[in-house]
Amino acid sequence: METQDIVISAKNVSKTFKIKDRNTNSIRSKVANIFNPNHTREIKALTDINFEVRRGEFFGIIGNNGSGKSTLLKILTSVYEPDKGGKISIEGNFQRLALGAGFDLEISARENIYLNGSLFGLSFKKIGGIFNSIIEFAELEEFADTKVKYFSSGMTSRLAFSIAVHVDADILFLDEFGGVGDLGFRRKSEQVFKESIVEGKTIVHVSHEIGTLKEYCDRVLWLERGECKMIGEANEVLDQYLASCNSQV
């Protein structure tokens, strides 16, 4: 793998969460803790994860619930910081797509479009030029000035998908981002996904959908209990993952 082709690099990435046994925000709980100290537990979500993603590669991440998939994606997109010693390097601008990710629920779809666009360095004039296309593709013309917190999950997904189509990101991080909306919108989004998103972009996709990962992925990382169980060619890893799941039934 040529160094100049690597756009995502994760080295020695671990993540430990510290969880307190009780909520200590209230005055009563703080007084009670004088006599009954609150203990902190450590939960190891990820342990020493290493991988690289090439420019233009479709890279999948799979694993059972609680394996650390979403935690890893949040570290890659700077939502979480890795433990000391871990390092993430990303070359290019990126967008994370998940239900509600990157949206301020207290403001309207219009304001969220401008907010997301500005995060990619687009001027308000440029965003204004693509605004109608985003709203129309998402089929949300009547809800442009409605707060996103009142949207259904399908409406939120359509808005996120439409922004991804129209805002030019080099790298996309997809978190369980399958077909959205009704049958008509799913067909439209699947066509655009193949023609406008997959081609020419680097994609990291967390998913349980084996069929989607087999169709699109070049390579797959299999996480198990926060550790790298296997990484390699998509079909090989996915077949091993399925065999493991079947053996546990």
Q: Please tell me whether residue 185 adopts helix, strand or coil conformation.
A: helix
- Asked if residue 12 is part of any domain, the answer here is yes
- Same domain as 240, residue 207: yes
- Same domain as 113, residue 82: no
- Same domain as 160, residue 88: no
- Same domain as 123, residue 80: no
- Asked if residue 141 is part of any domain, the answer here is yes
- Same domain as 248, residue 209: yes
Q: Can you give the CATH number for the domain in which 235 is found? A: 3.40.50.300
- Same domain as 209, residue 150: no
Run means of pLDDT, 10 residues per run, the chain, 249 residues: 79 91 60 64 93 94 93 89 94 62 87 86 89 94 96 85 77 71 72 70 87 91 97 96 87
Boundaries of domain holding 105:
99-169
Looking at the structure of the chain, the number of domains it has is 2
Nearest-angstrom CA–CA distance, 164 and 182: 19
pLDDT value for 34: 61
- Asked if residue 165 is part of any domain, the answer here is yes
Amino acid at 236: E
- Of 131, 152, 169, the domain-final residue: 169
- Predicted model pTM: 0.76
Nearest-angstrom CA–CA distance, 91 and 161: 22
Element (H, E) at 214: helix 210-216
- Asked if residue 189 is part of any domain, the answer here is no
- Same domain as 13, residue 85: yes
- Of 169, 184, 219, the domain-final residue: 169
- Asked if residue 47 is part of any domain, the answer here is yes
Is the distance from CB of 135 to CB of 109 less than 8 angstroms? yes
- Same domain as 115, residue 88: no
Nearest-angstrom CA–CA distance, 25 and 23: 6
pLDDT value for 32: 58
Question: 180-189 in b/e burial notation, b at 16+ Cβ within 10 A?
Answer: bbeeebeeeb
- Same domain as 104, residue 88: no
- Same domain as 56, residue 9: yes
- Of 134, 169, 204, the domain-final residue: 169
Residue corresponding to tokens 């510290």: 18
Is the distance from CB of 223 to CB of 229 less than 8 angstroms? yes
Task: Give ∠ CA 166-88-203 in degrees, rounded to 5.
Answer: 35
- Asked if residue 186 is part of any domain, the answer here is no
- Asked if residue 38 is part of any domain, the answer here is yes
Is the distance from CB of 214 to CB of 238 less than 8 angstroms? yes
**Going by C-beta distance under 8 Å and a sequence separation of 6 or more, which residues neighbour residue 15?**
44, 45, 46, 68, 71, 72, 75, 80, 82, 83, 86, 226
Is the distance from CB of 8 to CB of 94 less than 8 angstroms? no
- Same domain as 110, residue 82: no
pLDDT value for 99: 45
- Asked if residue 181 is part of any domain, the answer here is no
Nearest to 159 by CA among 204, 227, 236, 97: 97
- Same domain as 154, residue 76: no
